[in-house]
Amino acid sequence: MNLLKTLDLVTKKVLLISLVVSLGILSCKNTNEETTLIEHPQEIPENTPLGTKKSISKILSSFKSEDLFFNDSVTKFYTEREYAPVWSNNAFRNNFIETLKKAEAEGLYFREYHGDEIEALELSLDSKDTNDKSRYDLLLTDAFFKFSSHLLNGKTDPKKIHEIFDLPKNQANLSQLLNDALTKNDLDFAFNKVRPNNPVYKQLIISLKEYKVKMKDSDEFKEIEGGEMIKPGMQDTRLTKIKFRLMVLGYLKDIDPFSNDYSQEVQEAIKQIQLENGLLSDGVIGNSTIKLLNIDYYARYNQVLANLERWRWYPRELGEHYILVNIANYHLDVVKDNGVVKSYKTMVGTDVRKTPIFSEEIKYIVFNPNWTIPPTIKTKDVIPGARKDPNYLKRKNIDVYSSNGVKLDPSEVDWKSNNVKSYTYRQKPGSSNPLGKVKIIYPNKHLIYLHDTPSKSLFSRNSRAQSSGCIRVEHVMELAEYLLSDQPTYKTEKINKILETGKLTEVRMQQRVMVHHLYWTAWLENGKSRFTEDIYNYDEKIIDELNKISKP
């Protein structure tokens, strides 16, 4: 028995020595044999452990709050999984890194998500110790939380940019999202849950790529001077620059640019660019058209960036049946089952009284409406008017009510008293009533609604920021009939009879229709990038905020 044990030990020693010698020989291969090794590389395990539970716990506790973007979320996430590494699957990890590197297509940048450190660690991962690998795992998880949050709600705070932005933040459980992605081994599943699904957002990604290429030609944009209007048939020295600009933008070809004549061909090109950018397509080159022509590709690229950011703020689900108002483009669409069923021109709030951004459900429609004058107009217009002119309220057909609802005689009111600010002012139905014959109500704290107007000629204007915040709709009576089309009682004949009485009549809605007041200035239409004027100067504010935090 002892002899067998001795022989067994000897055999093991011999085998061990042979193994060491073999390894030594392999380690001393000369350069001529390196090709053989490259042809037969060592297989890399699919899962490379990134740290251990112990080291991850240690590194996480050593982090300062500023080391991670989402320190609390990362800590909670690892605590719940007992500090197990997250990113050990090579393919899963590489897919995430690739996604971050490609995020610039959406106006998001790799460097903003620990990009430099992540890339450096990945390149030398095999040589890193356990602590470095643990740190790497933590940084990747933090990057996931930040990137997902940017897709979900943008990088900037819309309430810093808008006077009134009253949309709730989009909600998602990012920890659960990462756990689900790990279980399914599918990161696209996770990001599609938080990325905007609106077609406008997807189209803007195409526009951003287009203008990134075009930016190189921004030096070709030499400023065109403003001045008097240029009408068809006229001559003007600026037409040379205008023709060159139209050629650069692709609206003119094979034309003599050095002539000062405003020819038919140039006129058609001007009409086309006006039409595509929300200007009155009349062929007259005024300062609005000159301003449009002076917008270079770099500015357009930034404009697309601004619009990508705002669509990340907006609700992910608008509903099955809704009204979508684009404030900037003076336009309203009725959408049902993902298709536009009706479209109308609108008028929106002036720059001083901007139309707010919010969403609400339509509850009722009022025919022959009174106009309860909103606080801003009451304070800035009505009360000063009544103080200056005793007949102001009578001339405007406005009644005044005390805070307890009692109708007052304007001649007996002390207009110097501050009490007048607490009174309610209501204009009766009639030709002077700015609400016209109908208003569509979706109750909200901003006192905003859709309505008619007696000033219908204003819809033909190029700029239609004319209201005090509410939305005036061209052919609004047609829209009202559509909204009541599910109620057989309220056909055209019935509605006309109500209007003829002049009596205020309220009709409750039965079908559910949301109204979304949004604002965007760039989109893709028929495969071509389209832009409209930034009437409230929001784009510039978004770009300023993005520049403070972005690291392209």
Question: Do residues 440 and 417 touch, judged by C-beta distance below 8 A?
Answer: no
Sequence spans of domains, the chain = 53-166+175-193, 320-370+432-520, 373-428
Helices first, then strands: H and E counts in the chain: 21, 17
Top pLDDT among 95 and 433 is at 95
Mean pLDDT rounded to a whole number for the chain = 88
Q: In the prediction, which pLDDT does 256 show? A: 81
Question: How many Cα atoms within 13 Å fall on the side-chain side of residue 483?
Answer: 29
CB distance 166 to 132 below 8 Å? no
Say how far apart CA 300 and CA 208 lie, in whole Å.
Answer: 9
The two structure tokens encoding residue 50? 């990134």
Task: List, in sequence order, every residue forming a beta bridge with 346; answer none if it has no partner.
Answer: 473
Put residue 459 in one of left, alpha, beta given phi > 0 → left and psi -120 to 50 → alpha: alpha
Predicted TM-score (pTM) of this structure: 0.84
Are 468 and 459 in contact, with CB atoms under 8 Å apart?
no
Domain 320-370+432-520, CATH = 2.40.440.10
pLDDT of 294:
93
Residue 35 clears pLDDT 80, i.e. is over it: no
Does the pLDDT at position 7 exceed 90?
A: no
Calpha distance 111→551 (Å, rounded) = 6
Task: Give per-residue pLDDT as tens, 77-89.
Answer: 999 999 999 999 9
φ, ψ for residue 189, nearest 5 deg: -55, -45
Residue range 484-489: mean pLDDT, rounded: 94
Is residue 152 predicted with pLDDT exceeding 70? yes
Return the closest-CA partner of residue 178 out of 105, 92, 83: 92
Q: CA nearest 482: which of 499, 470, 469, 495? A: 495
Q: What is the pLDDT of residues 402-411, one digit of tens each?
A: 988 899 999 9
pLDDT interval class at 220 (50, 70, 90): confident
Per-residue pLDDT at 20: 37
Q: What is the mean pLDDT of residues 65-76?
A: 94
What pLDDT was estimated at residue 542? 97
The more confidently predicted of residues 506 and 428 is 506
Q: What are the tens digits of pLDDT across the range 177-219?
A: 999 999 999 999 999 999 999 999 999 999 999 999 998 877 7
- The predicted pLDDT at position 517 comes to 98
Q: Please check the confidence at residue 510 and state whether its pLDDT lies above 50.
A: yes
- Among 431, 432, 433, 421, residue whose Cα is nearest residue 382: 421
Per-residue pLDDT for 417 more than 60? Answer: yes
pLDDT of amino acid 374: 84
